[in-house]
């Protein structure tokens, strides 16, 4: 790989205009992985100019031809899956089996989005007038600004950029500073797949120097953002004031409900995977368990026992079950919440940084479980984004639903029960964008819509049959072949 890595603007790999760079490190070992452009507003200007020029011809390229390039990108990703997964584990820290899943989502989205190039359905409908044709079609919006996080550094760009490009938009892409290499690979793959210059532009850098200028830029018409709720709401306020389309995917405080008739072994498996997979750094991670008092203690014991036996380490080691947190700041955040939690519940597993042996070189924290936590405790309502789960007692399904729906967030929820009536009531009443029955809170599939309610999102959904919605406008078209002026609603009265 070339060192240092570069921005990709107008089909060329270029340094930041300032010449400044920032370093990328392995969160498990501290290894230096490369240097990347520390870009600024002037680089954003260059990228937007390139995207604007490219849009003139890209929107006129037939959608099936646009889709063929996305499909070819999917084929390249499939061929390079293991290489990309290993690069992701080195850069982000998640264990290799999870990194493979992240890359697989990119493959799945490429094939799914490419299919839209031959669908992209509109609607035909009868006109109220004789000899008149009425229909609606999707149209691209223009230049899309995509701002992505570090926890799914390949999947999330795929969810956003692949539909945007198939729909005929061009893009400026700002990845998270903690995972720049995966964005570099993603963009290289599209270059190799034959994407014309300027259609996809990659700009590395921080939020204030790149993300903020993208939101403010008059040449960017859509902002698609995944990240924290506070940052997302700030983008919504500023971007909305400028008349931009804003699509937000933000925080989560996801609950697994465990009723007294649940299979506790299955529930334990799901809680451990949902809470500690990706070291708890998923927007869909389970960070609270709403459990019936009759089974609370038994479930807490089982989850704590499993959590305490999980193997921490470098995600490239096949024996590792939990990798590092992304950086030192995230470790400090988890430590702060664990300290708060000691005064809010009973600590039954974990509770400290993991620094033994080789772990001292990275950003590790023990999987942590608190039991007998009040439903309004800080560790039960605030997003931690780390390997910490709080167990809360609820006397009934109705109380569990009430506690779940009182959250600031509304991404994912789950219920474990053997009662089909309870299951269907939960499916109806849980106010989250995703609901699971007898499964954890993680594991969404690309062909269904992904997104949440309240502080998790602003109404848009990614993936599934909704993937084009943030990136297209509806255009209604009327063709009158009557040979005379027909006035809707007036002549038809």
C-alpha 109/C-alpha 445 separation (Å) is 10
Assess contact for 317 and 20: CB atoms under 8 A: no
Question: Where does 80-211 have alpha helices with state H?
Answer: 81-92, 96-116, 155-166, 180-192
Handedness of CA 196, 199, 200, 205 (dihedral sign): positive
| First-last CA distance in the chain | 70
DSSP character at residue 386 = S
Distance set, CA 432 to CA 386, 401, 427, 452, 480 (Å): 21, 11, 10, 6, 45
Residue 71: closest CA among 162, 173, 141? 162
Does the annotation count 383 as an active-site position? no
C-alpha 392/C-alpha 290 separation (Å) is 5
Is the bond preceding residue 4 a cis peptide, omega within 30 degrees?
yes
C-alpha 429/C-alpha 404 separation (Å) is 10
Crossing angle for the helix pair 81-92 and 180-192, nearest 10 degrees? 160
- 260 by Cβ neighbours in 10 Å (0-12 / 13-18 / 19+) ranks as middle
Q: Which two tokens stand for residue 184?
A: 């570099």
Q: What is the largest CA-CA distance in the chain?
A: 85
Assess contact for 179 and 91: CB atoms under 8 A: yes
Does the annotation count 249 as an active-site position? yes
Q: Which two tokens stand for residue 276?
A: 């500690």
C-alpha 411/C-alpha 457 separation (Å) is 8
* Cα atoms in the 13 Å half-sphere on the side-chain side of 190: 32
Assess contact for 200 and 113: CB atoms under 8 A: no
In the set 91, 98, 249, 321, the catalytic residue is 249
**Secondary structure of residue 390 in the 3-state scheme:** strand
* Cα atoms in the 13 Å half-sphere on the side-chain side of 299: 34
In the set 283, 286, 321, 462, the catalytic residue is 283
DSSP character at residue 396 = S
Known catalytic residues are: 249, 283
């Amino acid at each position: 790989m070339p060192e240092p890595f570069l921005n990709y603007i107008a089909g060329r790999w270029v340094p930041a205009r300032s010449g400044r760079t920032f370093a990328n490190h392995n969160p498990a070992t501290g290894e230096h992985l490369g240097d990347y452009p520390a870009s600024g507003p002037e680089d954003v200007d260059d990228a937007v100019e390139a995207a604007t020029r490219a849009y003139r011809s890209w929107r006129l390229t037939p959608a099936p031809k646009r889709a063929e390039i996305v499909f070819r990108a999917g084929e390249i990703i499939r061929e390079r899956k293991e290489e990309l997964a290993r690069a992701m584990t080195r850069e982000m820290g998640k264990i290799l089996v999870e990194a493979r899943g992240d890359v697989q989502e990119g493959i799945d989205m490429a094939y799914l989005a490419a299919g839209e190039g031959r669908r992209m359905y509109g609607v035909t409908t009868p006109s109220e007038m004789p000899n008149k044709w009425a229909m609606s079609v999707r149209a691209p919006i223009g230049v899309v600004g995509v701002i992505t996080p570090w926890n799914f550094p390949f999947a999330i760009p795929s969810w956003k950029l692949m539909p945007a490009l198939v729909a005929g938009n061009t893009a400026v892409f700002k990845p998270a500073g903690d995972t720049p290499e995966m964005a570099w690979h993603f963009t290289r793959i599209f270059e190799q797949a034959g994407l014309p210059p300027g259609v996809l532009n990659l700009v590395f850098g921080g939020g204030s120097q790149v993300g903020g200028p993208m939101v403010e830029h008059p040449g960017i018409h859509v902002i698609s953002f995944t990240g924290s709720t506070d940052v997302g709401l700030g983008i919504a306020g500023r971007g909305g004031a400028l008349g931009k389309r804003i699509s937000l995917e933000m925080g989560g405080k996801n609950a697994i409900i465990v009723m007294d008739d649940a299979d506790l072994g299955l529930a334990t498996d799901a809680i451990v995977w949902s809470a500690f997979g990706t070291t708890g750094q998923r927007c869909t991670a389970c960070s609270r368990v709403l459990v019936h008092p009759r089974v609370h203690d038994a479930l807490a014991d089982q989850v704590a026992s499993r959590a305490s036996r999980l193997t921490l380490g470098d995600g490239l080691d096949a024996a590792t079950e939990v990798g590092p947190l992304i950086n030192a700041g995230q470790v400090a955040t988890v430590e702060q919440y664990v300290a708060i939690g000691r005064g809010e519940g009973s600590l039954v597993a974990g509770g400290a940084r993991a620094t033994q042996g080789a772990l001292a070189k990275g950003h590790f924290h023990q999987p942590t479980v608190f039991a007998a936590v009040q439903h309004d405790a800080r560790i039960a309502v605030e997003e931690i984004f780390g390997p910490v789960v709080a167990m809360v007692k609820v006397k009934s399904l109705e109380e569990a639903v009430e506690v779940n729906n009182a959250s600031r967030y509304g991404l994912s929820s789950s219920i474990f029960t053997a009662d089909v009536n309870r299951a269907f009531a939960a499916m109806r009443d849980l106010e989250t964008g995703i609901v699971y029955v007898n499964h954890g809170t993680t594991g969404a599939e690309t062909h269904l819509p992904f997104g949440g309610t309240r502080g998790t999102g602003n109404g848009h959904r990614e993936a599934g049959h909704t993937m084009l919605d943030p990136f297209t406008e509806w255009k209604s078209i009327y063709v009158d072949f009557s040979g005379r002026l027909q006035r809707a609603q007036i002549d038809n009265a």
